């Protein structure tokens, strides 16, 4: 997760997940959720859900969707602490 902040709001965001697809996967929907908003708990939760909304897990690796959602949430919470 990479964020550019303008005051308390997210000016731009990049959310990219590794190890969930053959190549790094950019979570554009999560970026859209974050754009122009503050890093509130509700926004972070919505962005984490959006990051995996289009995920199509293969048999035996569905757990990666949950791991990715939690990883995005934790990264955004860490970023909120530094903003």
pTM comes to 0.90
CATH topology of domain 2-82: Enolase-like; domain 1 (3.30.390)
SS3 6: strand
pLDDT tens by residue, 32-42? 999 999 999 99
pLDDT tens by residue, 10-58? 999 999 998 888 899 999 999 999 999 999 999 999 999 999 999 888 8
Residues in Cβ contact with 26 at an 8 Å cutoff, skipping those fewer than 6 apart: 14, 15, 16, 17
Phi/psi for 29 (5° steps) reads -65, -35
54 with 10: CB under 8 angstroms? no
Tokens representing 22? 């053959």
């Amino acid at each position: 997760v990479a964020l550019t902040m303008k005051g308390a709001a997210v000016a731009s965001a990049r959310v990219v997940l590794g190890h969930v697809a053959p190549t790094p996967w950019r979570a554009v929907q999560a970026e859209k959720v974050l754009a122009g908003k503050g890093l509130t708990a509700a926004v972070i939760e919505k962005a984490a859900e959006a990051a995996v909304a289009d995920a199509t897990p293969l048999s035996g690796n569905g757990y990666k969707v949950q791991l990715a959602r939690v990883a995005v949430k934790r990264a955004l919470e860490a970023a909120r602490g530094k903003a």
